[in-house]
Structure 1
Amino acid sequence: MKPLKTLLVDDEYSAIEGLAIRLAAFSQISIIGHACSVDEAMALISESAPDLIFLDIEMPGKSGFELIKQLQPESCPAIIFVTAFHQYAVKAFEVRALDYLLKPVKKERLAEAIARVSSRLDSPANKQHMLEVRDILLNGDTARLTEPGSAYRIEQEKLVIQDGHHPAQLIPYADILWIDAAGDYMCVHTRDDTFVMRARLKSLINDVLPDGFLRIHKSTIVNLQHVARLEPLINSEYNLTLVNSKSLKVSRTYSRQLKLSLSGDKAG
């Protein structure tokens, strides 16, 4: 099989350099150029007709999804999305990209993605596959693509948990009872399971979780839908009991907001 003519698209040149270094280990990849914007990428695509594009999603001005919208039916290359934000994985799958990689790109995942592309590129179904991607985007099925001010909240009903080695796990927000911190990791608890994800509590509560989740301690977030009881302790602290009988401590710092939020829920 001849080497795949490959284009790298990312608004950060350091990311392009890092990916190019990793790709040098793969004989089936021939890098024909790089671009730091959608407009630059489109010019190179017209000139070079690449077989494969490693495409950053989050770029100023026009996103990676905007580039796909501009592709012509006769020149649809294979696409591997590259993103620093795991929530974009949901949209990558929704538009049926061949694969996606989380930054920083790991060699094992890169090898898997390249192998997947190589096995499918000569398939008669591949071009139709990429045309479907383009059609999905052109038909406006990306209403949830982004929300102003947030690069994380792509999927409004599910939390995406991705460790870089395994397929993404999609956990409905409604199923989450509470989340607690363990260093740089979060333990996401449902009635039946506990999932571990690499994240910070502040980022989760500010950028990821929808309304209805509230911080009750420096290391704990609860889903208000699953609160069964709230009992006062000393020093303005509380003991919170969830519907599964799990007991959690509410610190003084967060007790007032919790009472207000629960009162609002009952009033509504």
Structure 2
Amino acid sequence: MRVLIADDEPLARARLAALLEECGEGVEVAGSVGDGDAALAAIADIQPDLLLLDINMPGLDGVTLASRLAGKERPQVVFCTAYENHAVQAFELGAVDYLLKPVRLDRLRDALRRARQRLAAAPRETSYLFGRLRGEQVRIALEEVICLLAEEKYVVVQHRGGQLLLEESLRQLEEAYPDQLTRLHRNCLVPPQRLLGLKTLGDGRVLARLSGTELMPEVSRRNLPAVRKLLRMG
């Protein structure tokens, strides 16, 4: 189980990481961040199974972050907080558990057991793209994709492990995965969860900031309203 820790207190993050190590094999600390915005980016980048989430953090607080994740393919959420008064709201948002600080090892183990049960009961359906790498046919999980760029007669898939060439057109891919790919430009599609924000250049062009890469593809004027709406919706 890959776990992401989100807490604005470095000592709290270190304590949770140490407790997770005591929970035995099968538990991996995939990342540790100090605010809600960084947690949102890390979720898109590393795809954790479980999020240990503080409530009072700078930027996006824990409750707001959990609200943005609700109803989407997302990690399981366990709140770790010093405050009791958000417990009802946390469970309404689908949290696995609500742990009060200082977090006890036995309570953390119980929360991990609950998270495993949920993950086993609702396995993710993985979609794959099939293309060619050095002449051989390979596949890549769609959740690994950063962006798809049209170049001459091929589509180049930028993913966490490198690049892949596809023979389908962007239009074919867009029609095949309407909920999993968003058009930025006539030559670019991205998974919506990769979108972090926008950058406007001095000449008026708008670029998209994506998690997992320094590449910033251009957003066309035609697609800009839809992209802004996606970002507002989180």
TM-score using structure 1 length: 0.43
Higher relative contact order (CA 8 A, sep 6+): 2
